[in-house]
Each structure stands twice: as structure tokens, then as C-alpha cells.
């Protein structure tokens, strides 16, 4: 019974972690875009694209 509970918790937690990572990433993307509009748009956009591509690879 305990192992079933633990496995359920683990499956839920991994799903939640993926969800939270997506939320955090979208929040970072939004904040990056907002700062990019305030400052040099081109360089920050390029930096964001490069970091995004790095994250997608992994």
C-alpha cells in the first residue's frame, strides 16, 4: 500500500514539475520580452533565441 502511494506521488510530482517548468519558462520568456522592448531589442532577442535553442536541445 505504501509503495503504491509513493509511486502515485512520484508520478503526480513529475507531471507537476513539468507543468511548473513550462510555467516558469513562459514567465521568463514574457519578462525577457518586456525587458527587450525597454532596452536594446535586437541583442536581447538574439540572446533569448540562443538560450531557447539550447533549452530545446536538452
In tens, the pLDDT along 16-42 reads 777 778 888 888 888 877 776 666 666
- Helix/strand/coil percentages in the chain, nearest 5: 95, 0, 5
The Cα-based distances of 18 to 12, 23, 30, 42, 49 in angstroms read 10, 9, 18, 30, 21
Residue 58 has pLDDT above 60, yes or no: no
Residue 13 has pLDDT above 80, yes or no: no
- Give first-to-last CA distance, the chain, whole Å: 36
Listed in sequence order, the residues at least 6 apart from 25 whose beta carbon sits closer than 8 Å to its beta carbon are: 55
Amino acid at each position: 500500500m505504501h509503495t503504491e502511494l509513493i509511486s502515485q506521488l512520484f508520478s503526480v510530482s513529475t507531471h507537476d514539475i513539468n507543468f511548473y517548468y513550462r510555467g516558469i519558462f513562459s514567465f521568463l520568456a514574457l519578462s525577457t520580452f518586456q525587458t527587450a522592448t525597454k532596452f536594446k531589442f535586437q541583442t536581447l532577442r538574439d540572446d533569448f533565441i540562443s538560450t531557447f535553442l539550447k533549452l530545446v536541445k536538452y
